[in-house]
Each structure stands twice: as structure tokens, then as C-alpha cells.
């Protein structure tokens, strides 16, 4: 299709068009001022199933950070597949992006009163 980047798989992450689209999305995700505005944006951008998947991954990341439950116990508590739990754990532990870790650390600081939410 004209005007659309070709999508043929994992290699797309190196495609400049994909980078530009991801950058635009990242900038849009920075615009909501509170959780209600973010929920509204997510409802517009994502399907209910995509929001559910994102929320499940976030809950798994929180449980993994707490460190009190095994993967099987997290699965039993959340219904999330052990494959997804393993993937989230790998991103927390090994991947260079650091997105989960950054958000978890900032939320922990905010909860402990050492950092105020962004205006």
C-alpha cells in the first residue's frame, strides 16, 4: 500500500519508517496528564484484548519484582501463561531496553514519596 511501511517480520525494527512510527507513538503516549487520560488514549489506540494483554504483562512485572511468587504461582494467580511470564522476566533481567525496570523503579519511588508524578 502506498504510504505504509512494509511489514514482513522481526527485521522491521530496523526499518526507519518503523522507527518514525514508534517515535510518534512514544511521543503521543507522553501526552496524557493522568491515568484517566491515559486510559482514554489506550482505549482509542488498542483493542480491549490488547489492553488486557498489556495490563497482564504489567501485573506480571510487578509480581516478578516483588519476588515472592514462583512463575507457576504467578500463573495460578493471574492466568497468564508461563511463556509470557518467562518473557516478561527476561525483559526485566536481560534486555537492554529497560522499560519495565524504569517504570517499576519510578512507581516505587513515587509510592515511597521520593518522586512526584509528572505534571
Average pLDDT for 44-71: 97
Provide the pLDDT confidence category of residue 112 given band limits of 50, 70 and 90: confident
Please check whether residue 80 lies inside any domain of the structure.
Answer: yes
Please check whether residue 119 lies inside any domain of the structure.
Answer: no
Please check whether residue 97 lies inside any domain of the structure.
Answer: yes
Please check whether residue 57 lies inside any domain of the structure.
Answer: yes
Query: Could you tell me which residue, 7 or 116, shows the higher pLDDT?
Result: 116
Query: Could you tell me which residue, 44 or 119, shows the higher pLDDT?
Result: 44
Please check whether residue 33 lies inside any domain of the structure.
Answer: no
Whole-number pLDDT of residue 111:
86
Residue 86 to residue 74: CA distance in whole angstroms: 11
Domain that holds residue 81: 46-111
Please check whether residue 50 lies inside any domain of the structure.
Answer: yes
What pTM did the predictor assign? 0.76
Provide the pLDDT confidence category of residue 80 given band limits of 50, 70 and 90: very high
Residue 58 to residue 52: CA distance in whole angstroms: 10
Please check whether residue 102 lies inside any domain of the structure.
Answer: yes
Computed over every residue of the chain, the mean pLDDT equals 87
pLDDT at 55 over 60: yes
Number of independent structural domains in the chain: 1
Assess contact for 57 and 65: CB atoms under 8 A: no
Please check whether residue 35 lies inside any domain of the structure.
Answer: no
Q: Which of 46, 56, 48, 65 is nearest to 108 (CA)?
A: 65
Amino acid at each position: 500500500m502506498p504510504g505504509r511501511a512494509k511489514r514482513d517480520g522481526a527485521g522491521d525494527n530496523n526499518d526507519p519508517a518503523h522507527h518514525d512510527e514508534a517515535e510518534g507513538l512514544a511521543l503521543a503516549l507522553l501526552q496524557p496528564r493522568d491515568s484517566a487520560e491515559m486510559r482514554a488514549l489506550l482505549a482509542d489506540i488498542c483493542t480491549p484484548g490488547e489492553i488486557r494483554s498489556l495490563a497482564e504483562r504489567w501485573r506480571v512485572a510487578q509480581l516478578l519484582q516483588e519476588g515472592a511468587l514462583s512463575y507457576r504461582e504467578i500463573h495460578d494467580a493471574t492466568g497468564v501463561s508461563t511463556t509470557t511470564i518467562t518473557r516478561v522476566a527476561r525483559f526485566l533481567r536481560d534486555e537492554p531496553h529497560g522499560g519495565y525496570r524504569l517504570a517499576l523503579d519510578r512507581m516505587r519511588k513515587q509510592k515511597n514519596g521520593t518522586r512526584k508524578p509528572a505534571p
